[in-house]
Amino acid sequence: MKDNFIPPVKCPYCGYRMDCTSGVFDGEGKIPKPGDASICLNCGKASIFTDTLGMRFPTPEEKADLADDERIIQAQIMQASVVTKDLRKKQQ
């Protein structure tokens, strides 16, 4: 893998295809590790990277932890801001 590119994966919620990642917060690596969470740029839902860097739904326990994780909430707010701006541009 080069830089922040990963094998193509699909969001388990909406099927959006992703082939690169980016750490949102200081100190985070660009390449995910199994068990890391990811926010879909399309739907904004949190998924978990598998051992092969595929994506899976979070377990009920992981989902509860993600719902309380301020970093995940901030990332979802950022994702919503980007999607909202893109939608406004398309309507003009």
Model confidence pLDDT, tens digit, residues 38-71: 889 888 899 999 998 899 999 999 999 999 999 8
Give the number of domains in the chain. Answer: 1
- What does pTM read for this prediction? 0.77
Is 73 among the domain residues?
yes
CA–CA dist 52, 5 (Å, integer): 14
Is 57 among the domain residues?
yes
Residue 39 lies in domain: 5-84
* Helix or strand holding residue 55 (H, E): strand 55-56
CB 38 within 8 A of CB 55: yes
* Helix or strand holding residue 61 (H, E): helix 60-67
Is 92 among the domain residues?
no
- Residue-wise pLDDT for 68-91, tens only, equals 999 888 888 888 887 765 555 554
CB 32 within 8 A of CB 39: no
Is 91 among the domain residues?
no
Query: Which two three-digit tokens encode residue 54?
Result: 């595929």
